[in-house]
């Protein structure tokens, strides 16, 4: 720790930080624009000027930029120095010469960092009397709006988009006070982290287009801490509500998980919650077969009647429903009757993943820890599609080599431009073994394309090269041998090697190969990590709960049974005809859900479930982190949390509130014993107050109903919630898991987050949210007998078809969001060029492909890197039937209809 | 009077080819250093000569070279970059040297590159210097064919490749770090120092950037020694300097003269004095980004220390003369227009401050100024100073304005009070 002197008072600082970080960490309000805790310093905006003195005797000093000056021991600065104060006001005055005075109609207004900094510096009176420069705005796609006139040229957007996220289609053009930040031409921003521009931009150049569609000020929205439901990474979000609708998702900083950034699927996927066709009321099927809406009482009566018949009850849970909902179902139908709502293959993969993570010896890192990995092997998982935020973390890990070069040249890590100039893009080794091209290839030291079994074989060969006692792989081609040796050498030379794999290919051998490598690396002074991507937001939690697959459920259903389906569309889990058979056989089908699905359409009784924004619940991420999300939307109709419906069905009265369910679960299943620690209980109060869920109001919101009443309509917040439903309540420091939105006095924008961290960029005060449910206990090293599968042999006239779950469209809920829907590519079958030629189809041509389960007609995408004999089918897209993948298919050129 | 830098330049400006250059004693310095001088000896010889950078900043060249790490194995390759991006208005000394004697440039590059153990050198040339580019490329080809470039030069085991790079344009490329960034194919935005180019320069490797004129002195110092070089000057700084003069003088031009030649001598003797009907009011002594020297100080010796004593900088030594028939506000407006246009757009004070300055000056010149404008201008002078902006571009732009506000205060106020430009009718 360094001692620094700020305005003649002593403070501690991290000597690896710069003075801006040090000042902010010590609670000072020092304005800034171009610096960002995740992006470092470049010294462009000149906003954080302070006066630095050489020693205690120096009274003259000199003006320096805090962000460009190290916080070395003994540093003496003055923030209050009159010239520094006046210079900082001048910087705002310069920025304002071109910034439009359109705050009242600007969507950033009220949470604008530029507004905050303007007020902070005291610049209020306009002296510039000339015209302002103007720009043309661009269409940037369904997610982000562009209003270039507001730009203050802080360069953060391009630094995030290009340098941090690896994007290529946003850049800075022109020069002087005409610099332009945009695309070369109008068009959709291609990078899947584009939504972060909304938060990275300190003013209203890049704003959230989905919020714009039904715009509200920040202070007019209720917020709640939430957890993203669109993949298994468990990014923390803040849900903003108004008028009973979700209006937007913001990043909610979690220093261990998502940090400052979300992917676009997570940010813009919420639109499913606002769909007009969502399930809002109970629906009953009349004896004639037609559906009608019903009241809550009618629905419960019908349920009592149905379940009173005493037939067999089968429950099918869901990896997109909360732990509490799944547990409530499990308790209702019993452990034997409970089925995890995933396919048998996925269940096997998840079980394998859990075995590796829980009973192995190598821990799974947090995202922050992933960023510190010095060599990365991605084995058979396209994380850019299945766990996008992990891909972004790996991109940062690859910069490790650049940081080593910087260290050698004594360049501080926060000196962002200097590090990049010195390192010239030097990257730590990252290897990608995948079936097709991935969006990490651009930073990969080497890529390898192979069929899933050959990827597993490569993995086993690497393991053998690391640990000679592990079985070798027979008949491995020479090139693969050499590659295995190269990767093994790199991993052995690493201090923190990281193996990344997952359930995406549905291939257990790939998972076992990844585990084998991690295991072999364990020991000595090496700290390996293993990351296994799981498909959905609660895949891990559901897998920990155990239960048969959807196929098991289909097999066990008997004539006359009652089937209860929890927040799950079975047509996405199994073959259509088999699911049909299940529903045909069942005497009663009860479906709880919030979105309208094909399964809902088959129900006899539909119960309207609360979605993620409408209830509290716990999800377990792939990392094994249990995290609580809270209710932001208070529906007026009969919508309620699934666990409440299931409680009402069971007729038990012991569960009044979520905490009761959590306690039951923790005591019923030891794997969940810690989940209560994810967050304080519902009766948590600070000085007798609940935590407010809205910022101070600066608008005339209460005028909305002013013809009848001047009072704001109150939401009926459950007694046992740590939150009020309004702006009344506690405003100060709160537990990290209970921060509904970031706001601090004088900091209305999301940059107020600085005030919630002990050290800027570090953990939230009191520790980052979430509780890990398991750490590896080493009980069962990966099976020593686990050996490599045989090599890939293509079938005659057949192609081995592997699934791809595209970031946009590959996940059920986000695909229902209108903004995401615009980004979904049409389903297609990827073939390598020679294979396409052999079938006499060209790129874009149509093909029929037959699987055991059925046939598809699809457009062909020619993918040069696909291995011969392997095809790739984008799955999970709306309107596409489920297909047993990976599996063999027989394609042929589609003959046009006569 | 010795004029080593321009000795080979013929009146018709046709450059010597390699044979002519060799006959005139060319490439002797290359033979000398490659024939037995250690790189450290070359650096020592230049340090001894007290040669200072001729690009404007006057940094001692030998010291600059000595800051390059000696351990090549650890630091990776070194680079020499010639800053031939001569864009300072009024300045054309490097053009004279490049067009008139390209082989002198190449010889200098070889000696300097050898001294810092660089095996690759770039000549970053102003884009519009088409003739210089053609002549340099021809000279590089000739030197290459004659074995002065390439591998194992003159059997010494030393290798050097020289690349001529014609700039895409923009004044900021003359800033050495922006130059390096542009040379790497990226936006010409300056870099923060530290790290200095000697540690992390081109492609992140140790790099020395020297001005054309600076380097052209090097072969002569090697051939004739430090004492000879010191003796060339008329003051503290050794060597010669190519001075220039523009404005309403009789014979605008560029001349190689002993360092520390008095300003009045340059104007009166070499530029032929003021044209009839014109009186000298003041000068910008070294390009646009230097402060005014008024007629009272006209006898100042043109060297680094002397010019600083009268409140300005030697800069490039290209004297721009202001006469009594030119509106000083108009002159300032014109030059601030240049600086505002050429801002790279990176830092706020420069990007947004300079256009405001330009508009204020234009307003005052047009008779639309207010007295408060002068306070705003003074504030810019202060806040666009060194350390406040990212690089030296804006502080350079403020030098003439700061002195202008001091020396032409009466004219400023006259414009504002009379709401017109008093020079308008005079034309």
A523: left (phi over 0), alpha (psi -120 to 50) or beta: left
Q: Tokens standing for A589?
A: 């089908």
pLDDT digits (tens, 9 = 90+) for A414-456: 999 999 999 999 999 999 999 999 999 999 999 999 999 999 9
The residue of chain B nearest to residue A85, with distances taken between CA atoms, is: B383
The residue of chain B nearest to residue A83, with distances taken between CA atoms, is: B383
Do residues B323 and B274 touch, judged by C-beta distance below 8 A? yes
Do residues A620 and A626 touch, judged by C-beta distance below 8 A? yes
Assess whether pLDDT exceeds 60 at residue A784: no
Do residues A785 and A272 touch, judged by C-beta distance below 8 A? no
Q: How far is B259 from chain A (nearest CA, A)?
A: 33
The residue of chain A nearest to residue B353, with distances taken between CA atoms, is: A94
Write down the pLDDT at residue A782: 54
Listed by number, the residues of chain B in 83-122 with a beta carbon closer than 8 Å to a beta carbon of chain A are none
Contacts with B195 from chain A: Cβ below 8 Å: 409-411, 418, 422
Write down the pLDDT at residue B208: 98
Interface touch A172/B187, C-beta < 8 Å: yes
Write down the pLDDT at residue B246: 97
pTM for the whole thing? 0.97
Contacts with B354 from chain A: Cβ below 8 Å: 176
Listed by number, the residues of chain B in 383-412 with a beta carbon closer than 8 Å to a beta carbon of chain A are 383, 387-390
CA dihedral A609, A611, A615, A616 (to 10 degrees): 120
Write down the pLDDT at residue A122: 95
Q: How far is B383 from chain A (nearest CA, A)?
A: 7
User: Residues of B26-62 as b/e, b for ≥16 C-beta within 10 angstroms?
Assistant: bbbbbbbbbeebebeebbbbbbbbbbbbbbbebeebb
The residue of chain B nearest to residue A426, with distances taken between CA atoms, is: B204
pLDDT digits (tens, 9 = 90+) for A82-126: 999 999 999 999 999 999 999 999 999 999 999 999 999 999 999
ipTM: 0.96
Q: How far is B210 from chain A (nearest CA, A)?
A: 20
Which of B170, B195, B345 has its CB closest to that of A422? Answer: B195
The residue of chain B nearest to residue A180, with distances taken between CA atoms, is: B345
Contacts with B181 from chain A: Cβ below 8 Å: 421
Interface touch A415/B192, C-beta < 8 Å: yes
Alpha carbons A341 and A719: distance in angstroms, whole number: 32
Q: Does B373 touch chain A (CB under 8 A)?
A: no
Assess whether pLDDT exceeds 80 at residue A310: no
Bridge partner residues of A53 (DSSP): A76
Three-state secondary structure of A713-750: CCCCCCCCCCECCCCCCECCCCCHHHCCCCCECCECCH
pLDDT digits (tens, 9 = 90+) for A699-738: 666 666 667 777 766 777 788 899 998 888 998 889 999 9
**Which of A18, A126, A154, A176 to mutate to test binding with chain B, by most B CBs within 10 Å of its CB?**
A176
C-alpha Rg value of chain B to the nearest Å: 22
Q: Does B365 touch chain A (CB under 8 A)?
A: no
Binned at pLDDT 50, 70 and 90, residue A332 comes out as very high
Do residues A275 and A816 touch, judged by C-beta distance below 8 A? yes
Interface touch A176/B355, C-beta < 8 Å: yes
Interface touch A45/B347, C-beta < 8 Å: yes
What is the share, in percent, of chain A residues with pLDDT greater than 70? 98
Which of A127, A176, A422 has its CB closest to that of B341? Answer: A176
Write down the pLDDT at residue A483: 98
Contacts with A98 from chain B: Cβ below 8 Å: 352
Which domains, ranges and CATH numbers included, belong to chain A?
2-80 (3.10.20.740), 131-274 (no CATH), 283-342+540-613+633-655 (3.40.50.740), 359-534 (3.40.228.10), 799-893 (2.40.40.20)
Interface touch A155/B346, C-beta < 8 Å: yes
User: H helices of A113-218, where?
Assistant: 113-121, 156-158, 197-200, 209-212
* CA B62 to centroid of chain Cα atoms: 18
Contacts with A179 from chain B: Cβ below 8 Å: 345, 351
Write down the pLDDT at residue A703: 62
Q: Does B196 touch chain A (CB under 8 A)?
A: no
Which of A42, A45, A176 has its CB closest to that of B345? Answer: A176
Which domains, ranges and CATH numbers included, belong to chain B?
18-232 (3.40.50.11540), 240-323 (3.10.20.600), 328-426 (1.20.1440.230)
Binned at pLDDT 50, 70 and 90, residue A558 comes out as confident
Closest CA to A750 of A367, A195, A179, A164: A195
Write down the pLDDT at residue A704: 61
Interface touch A46/B388, C-beta < 8 Å: yes
Q: In angstroms, what CA-CA distances link A517 with A466, A498, B219, B285?
A: 8, 10, 61, 70
Average pLDDT of every residue of chain A: 94
Q: Does B187 touch chain A (CB under 8 A)?
A: yes
Q: Average of pLDDT values for A826-842? A: 95
Interface touch A415/B348, C-beta < 8 Å: no
CB atoms within 10 A of CB A472: 14
Q: Does B191 touch chain A (CB under 8 A)?
A: yes
Residue with tokens 């600076």: B214
Q: Does B75 touch chain A (CB under 8 A)?
A: no
Interface touch A177/B359, C-beta < 8 Å: no
Do residues A374 and A493 touch, judged by C-beta distance below 8 A? no
Interface touch B200/A155, C-beta < 8 Å: no
Do residues A405 and A424 touch, judged by C-beta distance below 8 A? no
Interface touch B347/A46, C-beta < 8 Å: yes
Do residues A332 and A315 touch, judged by C-beta distance below 8 A? yes
Alpha carbons A184 and A189: distance in angstroms, whole number: 11
Assess whether pLDDT exceeds 90 at residue A695: no
Q: β-strand B78-84 against B118-125: which pairing, if any?
A: parallel
- List, in order, residues 6 or more apart from B225 with CB less than 8 Å away: B45, B49
Assess whether pLDDT exceeds 90 at residue A879: no
Interface touch B347/A43, C-beta < 8 Å: yes
Q: Does B375 touch chain A (CB under 8 A)?
A: no
Which of B204, B345, B387 has its CB closest to that of A62? Answer: B387
Residues of A near B (CB-CB distance < 8 A)? Answer: 42-47, 49, 62-64, 68, 87, 90-91, 94-95, 97-98, 127-128, 130, 152-153, 155, 172, 174-179, 405, 409-411, 415, 417-418, 421-424
Q: How far is A420 from chain B (nearest CA, A)?
A: 8
Listed by number, the residues of chain B in 315-344 with a beta carbon closer than 8 Å to a beta carbon of chain A are 340-344
Q: Does B168 touch chain A (CB under 8 A)?
A: no
pLDDT digits (tens, 9 = 90+) for A376-421: 999 999 999 999 999 999 999 999 999 999 999 999 999 999 999 9
Interface touch A44/B181, C-beta < 8 Å: no
Residues of chain B with pLDDT under 50: 427
Write down the pLDDT at residue B427: 47
Which of B203, B379, B390 has its CB closest to that of A424? Answer: B203
Q: How many beta-carbon contacts under 8 Å exist across A and B?
A: 103
């Amino acid at each position: 720790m360094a001692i620094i002197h700020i305005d003649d008072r002593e403070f501690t600082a991290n000597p690896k930080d710069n003075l801006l970080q040090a000042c902010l960490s010590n609670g000072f309000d020092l304005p800034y624009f171009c610096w960002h805790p995740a992006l470092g310093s470049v010294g462009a905006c000149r906003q954080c000027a302070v006066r630095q003195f050489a020693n205690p005797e120096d009274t003259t000093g000199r003006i320096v930029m805090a962000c460009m000056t190290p916080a070395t021991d003994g540093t003496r600065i003055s923030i209050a120095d009159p010239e520094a104060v006046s210079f900082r006001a001048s910087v705002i005055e310069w920025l304002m010469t071109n910034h439009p005075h359109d705050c009242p109609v600007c969507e950033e207004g009220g949470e604008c960092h530029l507004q905050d900094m303007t007020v902070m510096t005291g610049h209020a009176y306009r002296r510039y009397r000339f015209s302002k420069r103007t720009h043309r705005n661009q269409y940037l796609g369904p997610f982000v709006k562009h209003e270039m006139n507001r730009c203050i040229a802080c360069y953060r957007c391009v630094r995030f988009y290009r340098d941090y996220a690896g994007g290529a289609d946003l850049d800075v053009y022109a020069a002087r006070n005409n610099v332009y930040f945009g695309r070369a031409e109008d068009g959709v921003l291609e990078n899947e982290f584009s939504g972060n521009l909304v938060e990275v931009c300190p003013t209203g150049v890049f704003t959230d287009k989905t919020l714009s569609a039904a715009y509200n000020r920040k202070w007019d929205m209720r917020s709640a801490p939430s957890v993203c439901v669109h993949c298994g990474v468990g990014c923390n979000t803040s849900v903003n509500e108004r008028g009973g609708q979700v209006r937007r998702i913001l990043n909610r900083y979690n220093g261990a998980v998502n940090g400052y950034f979300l992917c676009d699927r997570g940010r813009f996927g919420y639109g499913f919650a606002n769909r007009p066709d969502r399930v809002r009321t109970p629906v009953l099927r009349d004896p004639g077969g037609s559906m009608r809406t019903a009241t809550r009482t009618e629905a419960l009566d019908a349920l009592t009647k149905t379940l009173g018949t005493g037939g067999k009850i089968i429950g099918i849970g869901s990896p997109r429903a909360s732990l509490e909902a799944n547990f409530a179902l499990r308790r209702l139908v019993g452990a034997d009757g409970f089925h995890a709502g995933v396919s048998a293959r996925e269940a096997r993969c998840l079980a394998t993943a859990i075995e590796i993570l829980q009973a192995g010896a190598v821990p799974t890192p947090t995202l922050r820890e992933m960023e510190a990995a010095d060599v990365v092997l991605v084995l058979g998982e396209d994380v850019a599609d299945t766990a996008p935020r992990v891909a972004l973390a790996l991109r940062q890990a690859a910069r490790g080599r650049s940081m080593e070069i910087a260290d050698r040249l004594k360049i501080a890590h926060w000196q962002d431009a200097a590090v990049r100039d010195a390192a010239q893009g030097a990257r730590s080794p990252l290897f990608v073994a995948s079936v097709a091209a991935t969006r990490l290839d651009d930073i990969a030291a080497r890529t390898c394309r192979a069929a899933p079994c050959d990827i597993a074989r490569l993995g086993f060969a690497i393991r053998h090269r690391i640990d000679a006692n592990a079985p070798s792989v027979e008949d491995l081609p020479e090139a693969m041998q050499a590659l295995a040796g190269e990767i093994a050498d790199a991993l052995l030379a690493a201090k923190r090697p990281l193996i990344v794999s997952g359930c995406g290919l549905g291939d257990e051998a790939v998972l076992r190969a990844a585990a084998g490598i991690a295991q072999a690396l364990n020991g000595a002074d090496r700290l390996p990590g293993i990351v296994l991507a799981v498909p959905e937001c609660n895949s891990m939690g559901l897998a920990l709960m155990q239960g048969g697959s959807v196929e098991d459920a289909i097999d066990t259903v008997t004539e006359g049974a009652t089937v209860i389906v929890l927040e799950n569309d079975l047509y996405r889990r199994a073959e259509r005809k088999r699911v049909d058979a299940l529903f045909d056989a069942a005497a009663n089908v009860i479906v709880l859900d919030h979105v309208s699905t094909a399964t809902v359409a088959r129900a006899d009784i539909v119960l309207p479930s609360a979605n993620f924004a409408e209830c509290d619940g716990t999800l377990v991420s792939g990392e094994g982190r249990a995290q609580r999300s809270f209710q932001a939307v208070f529906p007026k109709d009969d919508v309620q949390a699934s666990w409440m419906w299931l409680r009402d069905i069971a007729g038990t009265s012991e569960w009044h509130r979520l905490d009761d369910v959590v306690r039951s679960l923790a005591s019923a299943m030891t794997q969940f014993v810690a989940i209560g620690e994810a967050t304080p209980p519902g009766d948590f109060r600070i000085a007798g107050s609940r935590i407010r869920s809205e910022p101070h109001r600066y608008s005339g919101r209460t005028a909305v109903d002013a013809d009848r009443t001047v009072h704001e309509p109150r939401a009926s917040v459950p007694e046992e919630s740590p939150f009020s439903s309004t702006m009344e309540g506690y405003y100060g420091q709160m537990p990290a898991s209970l921060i509904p939105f970031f706001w601090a006095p004088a900091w209305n924008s999301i940059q107020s987050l600085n005030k919630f961290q002990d050290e800027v960029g570090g953990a939230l005060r009191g520790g980052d949210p979430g509780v890990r449910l398991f750490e590896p206990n080493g009980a069962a090293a990966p099976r020593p007998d686990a050996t490599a599968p045989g090599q890939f042999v293509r079938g005659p006239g057949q192609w081995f078809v592997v699934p791809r779950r595209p970031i946009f469209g590959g996940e059920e809920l986000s695909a229902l969001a209108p903004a995401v829907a615009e980004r979904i590519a049409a389903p297609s079958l990827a073939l390598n060029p020679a294979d396409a030629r052999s079938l006499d189809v060209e790129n874009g041509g149509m093909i029929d492909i037959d699987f055991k389960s059925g046939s598809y007609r699809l457009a062909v995408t020619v993918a040069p890197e696909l291995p011969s004999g392997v095809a790739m089918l984008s799955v999970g897209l709306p309107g596409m039937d489920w297909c047993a993948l990976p599996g063999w298919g027989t394609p042929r050129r589609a003959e046009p209809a006569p | 009077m010795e004029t080593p830098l321009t000795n080979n330049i013929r009146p018709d400006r046709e450059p010597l080819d390699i044979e002519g250059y060799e006959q005139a004693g060319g490439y002797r310095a290359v033979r000398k250093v490659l024939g037995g001088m250690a790189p450290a000896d070359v650096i020592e010889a230049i340090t001894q000569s007290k040669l200072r950078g001729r690009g404007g900043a006057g940094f001692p060249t030998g010291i600059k070279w000595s800051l390059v790490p000696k351990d090549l194995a650890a630091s990776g390759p070194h680079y020499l970059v010639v800053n031939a991006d001569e864009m300072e208005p009024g300045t054309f000394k490097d053009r004279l040297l490049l067009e008139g004697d390209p082989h002198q440039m190449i010889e200098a590059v070889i000696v300097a590159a050898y001294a810092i153990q660089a095996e690759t050198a770039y000549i970053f040339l102003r884009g519009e210097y088409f003739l210089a580019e053609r002549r340099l490329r021809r000279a590089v080809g000739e030197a290459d064919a004659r074995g002065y470039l390439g591998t194992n030069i003159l059997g010494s085991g030393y290798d050097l490749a020289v690349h001529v790079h014609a700039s895409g344009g923009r004044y900021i490329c003359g800033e050495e770090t922006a130059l390096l960034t542009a040379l790497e194919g990226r936006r010409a935005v300056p870099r923060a120092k530290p790290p200095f180019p000697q540690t992390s320069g081109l492609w992140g490797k140790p790099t020395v950037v020297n001005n054309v004129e600076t380097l052209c002195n090097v072969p002569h110092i090697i051939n004739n020694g430090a004492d000879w070089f010191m003796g060339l000057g008329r003051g503290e700084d050794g060597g010669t300097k190519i001075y220039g003069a523009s404005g309403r003088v009789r014979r605008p031009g560029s001349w190689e003269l002993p360092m520390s030649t008095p300003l009045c001598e340059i104007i009166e003797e070499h530029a032929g004095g003021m044209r009839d009907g014109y009186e000298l009011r003041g000068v910008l002594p070294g390009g646009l980004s230097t402060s005014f020297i008024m007629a009272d100080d006209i006898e100042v010796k043109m060297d680094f220390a002397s010019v600083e004593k009268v409140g300005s900088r030697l800069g490039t030594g290209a004297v721009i003369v202001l006469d009594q028939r030119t509106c000083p506000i108009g002159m300032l407006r014109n030059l601030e227009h240049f600086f505002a246009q050429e801002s790279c757009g990176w830092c706020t004070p420069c990007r947004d401050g300079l256009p405001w300055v330009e508009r204020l000056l234009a307003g005052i010149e047009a008779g639309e100024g207010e007295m408060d404008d002068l306070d705003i201008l003074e504030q810019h002078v202060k806040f666009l100073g060194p350390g406040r902006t990212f690089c030296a571009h804006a502080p350079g732009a403020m030098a003439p304005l700061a002195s202008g506000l001091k020396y032409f205060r009466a004219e400023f106020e006259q414009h504002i009070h009379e709401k017109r430009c008093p020079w308008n009718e005079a034309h």
